[in-house]
Amino acid sequence: MSTSDAPERRTGVTRRAVLTAGGVAAVGAVVASTHGAGASTDSASSIPFFGKHQGGIVTPAQGHLALGIFNVAASDRQELKRMLADWGRAAQRLTVGLPLVETYDGSYPPSDTGEALGLGAANLTLTFGYGPSLFNDRFGLSSRRPKVLVDLPAFDGDELNPAFTAGDLCVQACADDPQVAFHAIRSLARLGLGTVELQSLQLGSGRTSATSSEQRSARNLLGFKDGTNNLRGGDSALLKRWLWVGARDDQQWMTGGTYLVARRIQMNLSTWSSTPLKVQESVIGRKRSSGAPLTGEREHDKANFEALDPHGFPVIPLGAHIRVAAPETNGGVHLLRRGYNFIDGVDERTGNLNAGLLFLCFQRDPVKQFTALQGDLARSDNLSQYVTHVGSGVFACPPGLGSNDELGASLFD
């Protein structure tokens, strides 16, 4: 892959003076329009950036995640608008495996940090979301806030770390290569220097949720298959009902969009792994080896919540995770899950592994879907004894862009 772009391709050039650790420098962060820019890359490994919906939602879940949460430091509406447009142009390039355009004058810092040169698009998707706090009075956006975009309530057992909670903006980068996903968030953070600050960067791998019928279920760090009953990209009727915001739901600019709920779930792995296998299986409601419900033989067998054992007790206990979370016990509510395992080394205070699940899910209405469901889970899911939610955010993800659209423009116009 070339590390620079032919000058004749450069249209719509912007330059930004940005604050850096070393003082103010003209970084020359030049972002070109990308019409035709994908020509030199391997299209087989890239996901279209333009479309009715954003990528990274029903896209078959890639192997790696970098989740960036940003806060807006600027107080200027125009500056925020300009940065979002820059982000959109950058995303077009990054998702076809092109670097941000090179600065040809070596006297300036390179506009692209370079660590992903040669790695290709690696099926990178960038999914942008706006947090409730973006719609307070700072940017004159309060009339644009969707009614369902409100901070999640406190749930039983939550122990939220502010670093992983809330946030004005969220970018979910997913890719087949972790360095490509990281590079994308790093690039957006640099483009936004002086306008936004990166509150947190969370890396995940080992996707726990299949989002396409071709993908097999994967295992979380509890050792169990996860996401067996997930919505899939091919479930058109369910996606229309439970995933995509409809034209009459609320704010017009969200039509075709969806809401992301991101929860950082710490797992007490040492307690879990000293729990007998039968107890683990009764907590989840599934057999570990096959992933089948305790009433079935195969992973995708339908769970029978009525079945009783010879002593008259439910085969799938009343507090089993799959019972409490099942659509059948929650008014039919579905979520599109897109979780990743995280492993952040050893907690120096406790000596335990600092690891768990970055639970990401998308839905049409976070109040009626995630919040309703999690309220039940926090109260009665037997799994709650083994996990602690330590981060939380909700974000409005607008629909996809047409090839002449600017990211964020629909918020402001």
By C-beta, is 253 or 340 nearer to a second copy? 340
Amino acid identity, position 224: F
Q: Which of 116, 243, 262, 387 binds a second copy (CB under 8 A)?
A: 116
- Only segment of 86-94, 201-209, 325-333, 379-387 that touches a second copy (CB under 8 A): 201-209
Q: Give every CB contact of residue 209 below 8 A, 6+ residues apart in sequence.
A: 61, 218, 226, 227, 230, 337, 338, 339
Show the site string, 86-105: x = touches a second copy by CB under 8 A, - = not: -----------------x--
C-alpha distances in Å from residue 255, one per residue of 125, 245, 309: 20, 5, 48
Burial (CB < 10 A; 0-12, 13-18, 19+), residue 205, is middle
Question: Whose structure tokens read 């087949």?
Answer: 176
215 scored as a contact of a second copy (CB under 8 A): no
List phi, psi (to 5°) of 181: -65, -45
Q: Does 384 bind a second copy (CB under 8 A)?
A: no
Nearest CB to a second copy, comparing residues 48 and 118: 118
In the list 273, 330, 380, 388, the residue contacting a second copy (rule: CB under 8 A) is: 273
The reply on whether position 403 binds a second copy by CB under 8 A is: no
335-374: contacts with a second copy (CB under 8 A): 341, 343-346, 348, 351-353
- Three-class DSSP labels, 282-308: HHHCECCCCCCECCCCCCCCCCCCCCE
CB of 325 to a second copy, least distance (A): 20
Pick the binder of a second copy from 276, 310, 312, 402 (CB under 8 A): 276
- Judged by CB under 8 A, does residue 71 bind a second copy? no
Choose between 248 and 349: whose C-beta lies nearer to a second copy: 349
Phi-psi group of 206: left, alpha or beta (phi > 0 → left; psi -120 to 50 → alpha; rest → beta): left
- The window from 110-118, 130-138, 323-331, 386-394 that contacts a second copy (CB under 8 A) reads 110-118
* CB of residue 330 to a second copy, shortest distance in Å: 27
Which residues ranging from 139 to 168 are in contact with a second copy (CB under 8 A)?
163
Can you tell me the distance from the alpha carbon of 126 to that of 181, in angstroms, rounded to the nearest whole number? 9
* Closest-CA residue to 314 (of 330, 284, 294, 332): 294
Strands 218-219 and 225-226, by their bridges, are: antiparallel
Chain contacts with a second copy (rule: CB under 8 A): 3-4, 20-22, 25, 27, 66, 103, 106-110, 112-118, 163, 177-179, 182, 186, 190, 197-203, 205-206, 216, 219-224, 268-271, 273-278, 280-281, 288-289, 341, 343-346, 348, 351-353
